[in-house]
Amino acid sequence: MADAPPANDPAFAAAAALQAAKALMIAATVTLLAALLLSLRTKSRWPACGLLFLAIASAVGFAVGHRVNSDAPDPIPQRYAAAFSALKPDQRVLLTNIIWAEAGASTGFDNIAGYNPLVLARTARFLAAVQNENPDQVAFGYSVRRPTAAYRMLRCAMVISGPTDGPIYATAGALPRLVLAGQVIAAADAPAALADVLSDDFNPARQVVLESNVSSIPTAPGANENPGSVRLDSETTDKLEIEADLPVPRVLVVTDAYSSGWKAVALAGSVQPRYEVLPADYCLRGIPLSAGHHHFVLEYRPTAYVAGGWVSLAALGTYVAALGLMWLTRGSLAAASEERSR
């Protein structure tokens, strides 16, 4: 793929100016046509049809002019495909080769580095910190200079870095999707939580680092009591239905990226009336659970999304009310127009 020309290239500037001039010319022409049709709307019904046709033509023309066409990407290298075939369900990989890093959605692997530009801040800082980079100076792109066991916390079972023929590292002990942790490590804030997670003594299979106080979960290792069971009943792109049965309180760690938009809602038969989703192990999701049976939905519902839904409903209701008012008053408006024309 050819590199994009620099912004100070005279040829690029000339091409950009020509493109902008064409866009302005099209916009001016559409505006003039719309003005002409609006001026004729009182003399005939056809200008209204012309406005509708102009709107449709403008939308179709914009879509066609901005559609990006490209050749289908080559299939991933055979050595990658062979390595991915050994992955267990829910296990992920860390693939930093920029050519193939975004191919997971079409080829069936999940990349823990996320998909540009949607890597969440905590995940990006964690990935930087495990490579001894400054977590507050995360740069675009990601490189692996040294394999580390910390990747297993993100369900990463394999690290592929560098060129296509570069080394493939296995990460032992990759965590499952759902983990019941029985020991809480309390951190004062997010930087302290990141330091605790990167400690050599931290065991993500048994421990969880929280930035909130959960007094019902012990902070010291206990006896080898039955940890209970947890299962994922169903999932979509933004919703997980989870059930758990616990003899003692635990923290459920969902080894997916944390975001404040995730909410947990209790379902019928659950021992807890409400659930709280906390940042766990710095960049994952943690849900404190009491002893007993749990059945809840973990759903991504950020406040802005809910507010946007209500705004859209209010706008739709206003539009319908305006249409109804126009329909009810159409007779009186027609009579007034006829009276003025006499």
- Cα 295 to Cα 176, 189, 214, 285, 316: the distances in Å are 19, 30, 20, 17, 35
Average pLDDT rounded to a whole number, residues 150-161? 89
Average pLDDT rounded to a whole number, residues 121-148? 80
What single DSSP character describes residue 25?
Answer: H
User: Mean of the per-residue pLDDT values for the chain?
Assistant: 83
Q: What is the pTM of this model?
A: 0.71
- Banded pLDDT at 132 (limits 50, 70, 90): confident
- Banded pLDDT at 1 (limits 50, 70, 90): very low
d(CA 153, CA 166): 23
- Note whether 273 and 223 are within 8 A (CB): no
Residue 340 has pLDDT above 70, yes or no: no
Instruction: List helix spans (H) across the chain.
Output: 10-39, 46-65, 78-84, 104-107, 121-129, 190-197, 303-328, 330-341
Decide which of 2 and 325 is more confident.
Answer: 325
Q: Any idea what the Cα angle at residue 212 is, between residues 207 and 215, rounded to 5°? A: 70
d(CA 292, CA 299): 22
Q: Provide the pLDDT for residue 156.
A: 92
Kind of pairing between the strands at 168-170 and 178-181 = unpaired
- Note whether 281 and 153 are within 8 A (CB): yes
- Banded pLDDT at 140 (limits 50, 70, 90): low
- Note whether 183 and 224 are within 8 A (CB): no
- Banded pLDDT at 215 (limits 50, 70, 90): low
Residue 242 has pLDDT above 90, yes or no: yes
% of residues, the chain, pLDDT over 70: 84
d(CA 218, CA 220): 6
d(CA 262, CA 247): 26
- Cα 316 to Cα 228, 309, 320, 321: the distances in Å are 48, 11, 6, 9
Closest-CA residue to 48 (of 59, 34, 60, 62): 34
Closest-CA residue to 280 (of 297, 301, 263, 255): 255
Decide which of 69 and 160 is more confident.
Answer: 160
Q: Provide the pLDDT for residue 275.
A: 95
Q: Which single residue is written with the structure tokens 């969902």?
A: 254
d(CA 168, CA 159): 6
Decide which of 59 and 335 is more confident.
Answer: 59
The string of pLDDT tens digits covering residues 280-300 is: 999 999 999 999 999 999 999
Closest-CA residue to 91 (of 47, 154, 40, 142): 154
d(CA 75, CA 195): 39
- Note whether 243 and 266 are within 8 A (CB): no
Between helices 121-129 and 190-197, what is the axis angle to 10°? 40
The string of pLDDT tens digits covering residues 24-67 is: 898 898 889 888 888 887 777 777 788 888 888 888 887 777 66
What single DSSP character describes residue 3?
Answer: P
Q: Provide the pLDDT for residue 336.
A: 62
Closest-CA residue to 282 (of 190, 146, 166): 190
Q: Provide the pLDDT for residue 60.
A: 85
What single DSSP character describes residue 60?
Answer: H
Decide which of 150 and 140 is more confident.
Answer: 150
- Banded pLDDT at 3 (limits 50, 70, 90): very low
